């Protein structure tokens, strides 16, 4: 992983479905924009799996913003990382 490159972890199909659903959640989309300028290594391991501290912080922030979905422990963090891997849409 290099600076500016967002890793992606391999995952089970049901986990991937939860994360795809979360990627459409406006709260998660806003959270992704909030961390876009961060160094990827602060959020994820080189394997693409989110760091534990990031998973916990993402879950807490999601709940604090009124989110009610969530799935497995790393679902929100994985959805954020996946959004960061998508090209940024031009306004």
Q: How many residues in the chain?
A: 91
Q: Phi, psi (5° rounding) for residue 44?
A: -140, 155
User: Residue 72 has what pLDDT?
Assistant: 87
Burial 34-65 (b: 16+ CB within 10 A, else e): ebeeeebeebbeeebbbeeebbebbbebbeee
How far is the C-alpha of 60 from the C-alpha of 4, rounded, in Å?
Answer: 25
Residues 37-90 have pLDDT tens digits of 999 999 999 988 999 999 999 999 999 999 998 788 999 999 999 999 988 766
The residue extents of the domains of the chain are: 13-85
């Amino acid at each position: 992983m290099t600076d500016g490159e967002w890793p992606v972890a391999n995952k089970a199909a049901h986990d991937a479905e939860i994360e795809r659903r979360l990627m459409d959640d406006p709260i998660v989309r806003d959270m992704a924009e909030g961390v876009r300028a961060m160094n990827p290594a602060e959020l994820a391991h080189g394997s693409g799996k989110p760091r534990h501290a990031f998973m916990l912080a993402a879950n807490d922030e999601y709940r604090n913003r009124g989110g009610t979905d969530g799935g497995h422990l790393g679902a929100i963090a994985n959805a954020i990382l996946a959004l960061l891997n998508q090209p940024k849409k031009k306004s």
